[in-house]
Amino acid sequence: MASLWRHIYHAPSASNQCCLTLRSTGPATAGGVSLARSGFATVARQAYTARLRGPVSSNVRPHMPAWSQITIQPQDAALASLRNSWKWMLGDAWTPLMFSAIGDVFFEVPAGTVWWLSTATGSLEQIADSRDEFRELLGTEKADEWFLPGLVEALHSSGKILESEQCYTYAIFPVFAEGSFSVENMNPVSAAEHYAFSGHVHESIRQLPEGAKVKVTVTE
């Protein structure tokens, strides 16, 4: 994990430290969503989407990038990393449905409801009562909020284009006050690394109170 964090921070030496501030408190579970983090995730994404929105329909919307640009298809290694690294929150009984280019996961639980895991903020939110409802919502403005197509286009324009088996990750996760949904804060990495790293970060801070200061030390 340390080598990955150094890579996305571009840390020049074998040891690097920074202090980050946690925005909000409490992990989410499929049985009880953390309203603080879930609410922040929604507000932050809506604010960003308002700046970069082009109206999104085929479940394609007129100015939305192709689904192949804003989603990924993780391979077995990445899926194993996702299940292992997020088991503390998601457990085992879930079926993945879609994966966004910005590292988020949409999945179904045995009850038939569909959930959205934001790996940026560590929030978990029920977004549909069924797969059919989820498919319908993909043709609405909800897709802008979930997949941030404007941000993905901006990343492409800056030269940050995903290769096979990659997704975007964050230099500083937006769960911290210093983090953001921005081109400057995001870089391509392997999906397996992103799922492992994000799961590790959010599991490590899940018991911390709002406003807690977190010292990050990167070493070999």
Q: Is the pLDDT of residue 209 over 80?
A: yes
Highest mean pLDDT among 21-25, 33-37, 60-64, 65-69: 65-69
The number of distinct structural domains making up the chain is 1
Mean pLDDT of 3-27: 52
- pTM above 0.85? no
Q: In 3D, which of 38, 29, 15 has the Cα closest to residue 217? A: 15
Q: Once rounded to an integer, what is the mean pLDDT over residues 53-75? A: 67
Q: Domain of residue 124: give its range.
A: 2-219
pLDDT in tens, 178-196: 899 999 999 999 999 999 9
Residue 25: is its pLDDT beyond 80? no
Q: Dump pLDDT digits (tens) for 101-128.
A: 999 999 999 999 999 999 999 999 999 9
Residue bearing tokens 């397996």? 192
Please check the confidence at residue 90 and state whether its pLDDT lies above 70. Answer: yes
Structure tokens at 43: 């507000």
Say which range, 6-10, 32-36, 104-108, 147-151, has the weakest mean pLDDT. 32-36
User: Which tokens go with 45?
Assistant: 């994404």
Over residues 34-58, the mean pLDDT reads: 42
